[in-house]
Amino acid sequence: MSAVAIADLSRDLARLEESVRARASELLESQQVRMVIGHKRAWNGPLAVAHFAVSPKEARKFAAGPHCTGGLAKYLLEEREKDGVVAVIARGCDALGVRRLLIDRRVDAEKVLVLGVPCAGCLDPAKLAEALGVTPAELVEVTLAAGALRVRLAGQEQAAAGPPLDKVLPPTCMACEVRMPVEVAEMLGGDLAALTALAGRPPAIDLETAEAEVTRLEELSADDRYAYWAGHFQRCLRCFACRNACPACNCRVCALDSYDPKWLGHPTEIPEQFMFHFIRAVDVAGRCVACGECERACPVGLPLMQLNRKFSKDIRTLFGVDRPHLPGEHEPLGKFEPDDPEEFM
């Protein structure tokens, strides 16, 4: 990508933000939708939070850009019983999340309008803080100018130049193959040459590299692998943030909440922690959309995407499907077919 195009990126993001506000406003004004779900500036800190606009006035608060982290698709589950259409401002991962809910028949297609936005990746505050030698809480404001971040830290009046955005993305965004969202009703922002060019670049981490970490864990001895995961799982608070943030975790009744039968014991001790995380990971195997929300939501930094990637690698090995979460791909575990070759069926 040329230097000129990078310089245009912040202008594109400003245009995109204006386009999101205008389109949301229009849809609400004309009552084509009853709610638009997107992001808005947070009370504090650099990251945006989910925003639910039901009036044109509230639509003016919408934001777009690399600070708009946090998945939006899952919120549709809570709107499913209500009448009327809900629009979602969808990055690629959000659009795949919505698609997940549609395939799983948890949301009616007639009640959802997916408004796509191209995405340059969403910043990882931990990585940004590390690059600047501060703690994530010290990041007050982050903006994108000419392809590099400008960061204002706690106690500072002025923002200073930070690292380039692509150096502070979470691994999930670095491996993202859907920066241009798929299966959307319309794309917002119009002609955004710089952003589109950036979003169209191949991912910085390809499938093979992403799986190298899984291979490393597979090659450990059983005892070492147990020690690795026990070390992580003993931190787990059992807060269910990973499950609740996940668009593929959309069961009507979750096995992890079930008392009868009781699949999961209540102690937060190592055997139950393994059971908890394996149930979660196995239940989304083949349906995970690789949005990384589980890992992002976790308050104690569990590397949950490693488990998800292990299962996606297994699916590739066993069924020959690389990306079961993408349109046009065969879903080996998420779909029933009468002519399933599995003989015991």
Partner 1 sequence: MDATRITGASLGAARIPSGPLDKLAAAAARVAGDGALVFGPARDGSVWGWKLCEAADVPQSDLWERLVNTDVSPKELFMPRTEDIARWRDRLRNLSIAEPAAPPPVVVLGVRPCDAASFDLLDEVLIEGPFSDESYRRRRGATLLITWACGKTGPACACDAFGLAPAAAAGDLMVYPDGNELLLSALTPKGLEVLGDLTGGSTAGEALTGRVDAVAAALNAQKTAVGRRLALDDLTANAAGLTATLFSSDIWTELSPRCLSCGTCTYVCPTCYCFAINDEPRGGDGRRIRTWDSCQFKEFLSMAGGHNPRPSKVERVRQRFMHKLNYHPERYGKFLCVGCGRCIVSCPVGLHVAEVGEALSRAAAAAVSAAKGGE
Binding site for partner 1 (CB under 8 A): 42-45, 47, 49-52, 70, 74-75, 78, 126, 135-138, 140, 154-155, 231-232, 235, 237-241, 243-245, 257, 265-269, 296-297, 299-302
Binning the chain into helix, strand and coil, the percentages to the nearest 5 are: 40, 10, 45
Angle at 277 between CA 271 and CA 279, to 5 degrees: 100
Q: How far is the CB of 86 from partner 1 (least distance, A)?
A: 11
Q: Which is nearer to partner 1, 149 or 302 (CB)?
A: 302
Q: How far is the CB of 143 from partner 1 (least distance, A)?
A: 18
Q: How far is the CB of 232 from partner 1 (least distance, A)?
A: 6
Decide: helix, strand or coil at residue 25.
Answer: helix
CB 297 within 8 A of CB 102: no
DSSP 185-251: SEESSS--HHHHHHHTSPPSS-HHHHHHHHHHHHTS-HHHHHHHHHHHHTT-----HHHHH-SS---
Q: Which is nearer to partner 1, 68 or 188 (CB)?
A: 68
Q: How far is the CB of 342 from partner 1 (least distance, A)?
A: 34
Residues near 6 by Cβ (< 8 Å), separated by ≥ 6? 146, 147, 194, 198
Q: Which is nearer to partner 1, 297 or 305 (CB)?
A: 297
Q: Which is nearer to partner 1, 148 or 254 (CB)?
A: 254
Q: Which is nearer to partner 1, 200 or 265 (CB)?
A: 265
Residues near 25 by Cβ (< 8 Å), separated by ≥ 6? 56, 59, 60
Q: Which is nearer to partner 1, 267 or 327 (CB)?
A: 267
Q: How far is the CB of 228 from partner 1 (least distance, A)?
A: 11
Q: How far is the CB of 239 from partner 1 (least distance, A)?
A: 4
Can you tell me the distance from the alpha carbon of 193 to that of 173, in angstroms, rounded to the nearest whole number?
Answer: 20
